[in-house]
Amino acid sequence: MIRYKLLAVALSIFLVLDEEFSVSKAETPQPDKNKQTTIFAIPNPEINQEQKQEQEPVSSAEPLTVTATVYFPEPGQTDETPFITADGSKINEKNPKKHRWIAVSRDLHTRWGGEINYGDSLVVSGISEELDGLYIVRDTMHRRLRNRIDILVGRKDEIIGKWNNVQISKFIASNEAEG
C-alpha cells in the first residue's frame, strides 16, 4: 500500500514539474541560429524627444493594413491549451495583457508564405492609445481568418473590439537598420 502512495506522490510531483517546465512537451520550437535575438523594451512615454528618436521603429517594408481584434486565453478562443501559445511560450494566467503578445493570421506568417515569424516585434497603430505600440508575435490564428492580428488580453481587462485599417510593421532597432 505504501508503494502505491509513494508512486502517486512521485507522479504528482512529475506532473507539477511537467506543467511548470514543459518537460514532456514533444514539439518545442528551435530558435533560428542564424537570426540574432534581441529583446526590445517598450518605449516609456516619459522619454525625452532625443531618446524617442533613437527608439523610433524603422520598417523594412511598407506597413501592412490589417483588421485587429482581441482574444482571451481560454478554450473557447484558443485550442485545448489556452495558456501555451503556438510557439510554446507560456502565458501569465493572472495578467496576460502584460506580455504584449499577438497572434497573426496564417497568411501573414512565414510558415504559410507570409513575412512575419514567431518572435518578430511588430509596431501596431490605429487602434487606441492603450493598445497601439510594440508587440511580439507568439501565436497564430485559425486558418479561416485572413489579414488579421489578435491581441492577447485578459477577460478582466474588459477590452473587446474589432478595428479595421490597423497598420502593422516590423520593428527593427535603429542600430540594426544602419548596419
Reported as a single tens digit per residue, the pLDDT across 79-123 is 788 899 989 999 988 888 899 999 999 999 999 999 999 999 999
Please tell me the pTM assigned to this model.
0.63
**Spatial CB neighbours of 70, under 8 Å, sequence gap ≥ 6:** 131, 150, 151, 152, 153, 159, 160, 161
Reported as a single tens digit per residue, the pLDDT across 48-82 is 444 444 445 555 557 899 999 999 888 878 878 88
